[in-house]
Structure formats: C-alpha cells, structure tokens
Amino acid sequence: MRRKFSRRDLVGSGFNSRSQRDQLSILPFRVRPPGAVEERLFLALCTACDDCVVACPKNAIHTLADHVEPGSGTPVMVLEERACHLCEEFPCILSCTEGALVQTKGMRSWFFGHALIDPGRCLPYLGPECGACGGRCPPGAENALKIIADLPAIDTDLCIGCGICLESCPVTPKAIELTIDPLEIGPILDMEVVDMAVSSEDRPKSGR
C-alpha cells in the first residue's frame, strides 16, 4: 500500500498540526496547484504573475478575482470543474520562480483528497453501461478507479482526489464527488528517492 505524506510530515517543528489548524481558522481554505507551500508562506511568496496558469496544459489553474482577499490574483484550482492531471515534470511548479510552488525531494505526485461514487446517480449502478471514468487515473494514482463487473470502484488507498474521473462523468449532476481535507493536502513521496537523499546528506564528507 502506498505510503502517503501530508505537509504535517514534511514541515519543520515551527509549523505543527495545531498551528496549521490555527492558520486555517484565520485564512480561508483554497486548493492551490501541486507543490504549494503552506498558505501563509504561499501568500507571502506568490506574486500573482500567472506563470503557473499559463504553464498548465489542461487550463486547470485559475486565479482569484481582484476583489477576493487575501490573495487576489493568486492561483487556485477548482477540481470539481477542471481536474488536475498531475502532468509529467509538473510544468506549473517548473514555471514558479518565486518558491510558492516547490517540488519536494522525491515528490512523485500530489494528494488532494478522495473521490466518492454515488450509486444513486452512477449509470452502471442504475442499469445502463458507461465506463467513462475507467482507466483515467493520472501517474502516481494508477488504478485508483477500476471497473469491476461493469461497475466503477474506487480504491481509497490509491485515490488522490485529482478530479479526472469526476470531469469525465457524463451525468448531471455528477455521480462522483470529491472530499478534500485541508490538513491532508500535500506531496506523495517516493521513499526510495528520499532515503537515498538522506543517506547522501548523512554520508561523511572527506576533508581537503
């Protein structure tokens, strides 16, 4: 089973779960693009340059309206409307030169939340065939949604809440819903890469 990491696993001792909850009670919650640092730092670093918006090949990154504070003009994602495809090499992160979006060492994907199927609206559960959501999971979440006996099923251990299945659902209202926990959003790490990096840093350096 994939090991998941939230920001609580990655930030320093100066930013713990309690301070994170305190911050969330003050700052409105926004879904930021992959690689986003914690919200207070994000607002300090992001210049609202739109580089990540332009870099996204799926047009999945939007900006907050000018009248919205704090953070007017900064990038946000509305996964219920446009999914994050977790693009190869994360062009949104590569475009950010201010440090608001950062690719953590060993980061191979980004966790947003979970998708849930509503059998009361999903076509295969009601009789007709569909399968529109099958085989669409992005890298880092392969096979999170499978078609089993003609019915879609989501593995919550693999699902990252990217919204691609919801985007592909032909039903109105959608038969798939997203649940996003502000405290769980964060990088999914390849622990082999992380362990190698840690081992390299711990290795004694030869003197001159």
Q: How confident is the model at residue 22 (pLDDT cuts 50, 70, 90)?
A: low
Q: What percent of the chain has pLDDT over 70?
A: 79
So what's the pLDDT on residue 12? 35
Please report, for residues 28, 64, 76, 133, 155, the alpha-carbon distance to residue 142 in angstroms, rounded to integers and kept in the order given. Answer: 31, 31, 24, 13, 10
Lowest mean pLDDT among 64-73, 118-127, 137-146, 182-191: 182-191
User: Average pLDDT over the chain, rounded to whole?
Assistant: 85
- Is residue 206 one of the residues assigned to a domain? no
CA gap 84, 43 in Å, rounded: 21
Peptide bond into 70 cis (omega under 30): yes
- Give DSSP secondary structure letters for 89-104: T-HHHHH--SSSB---
- Is residue 131 one of the residues assigned to a domain? yes
CA gap 41, 131 in Å, rounded: 41
pLDDT value at 170 more than 70: yes
- Is residue 108 one of the residues assigned to a domain? yes
- Is residue 208 one of the residues assigned to a domain? no
Helices (H), 74-156: 91-95, 123-126
Q: Mean pLDDT over residues 94-115, rounded?
A: 95
Higher pLDDT, 191 or 4: 191
pLDDT value at 142 more than 60: yes
DSSP strand pairing (107-111 vs 186-189): antiparallel
Count up the domains in the chain and report the number.
Answer: 1
Q: How confident is the model at residue 29 (pLDDT cuts 50, 70, 90)?
A: very high
pLDDT tens for 54-70 read 999 999 999 999 999 99
Whether the Cβ atoms of residue 115 and residue 176 lie closer than 8 Å to each other? yes
- Is residue 59 one of the residues assigned to a domain? yes
Name residue 36's beta-bridge partners: 101
So what's the pLDDT on residue 85? 96
So what's the pLDDT on residue 50? 97
- Is residue 154 one of the residues assigned to a domain? yes
12 lies in which domain range?
A: 7-193
So what's the pLDDT on residue 13? 32
Whether the Cβ atoms of residue 104 and residue 113 lie closer than 8 Å to each other? no
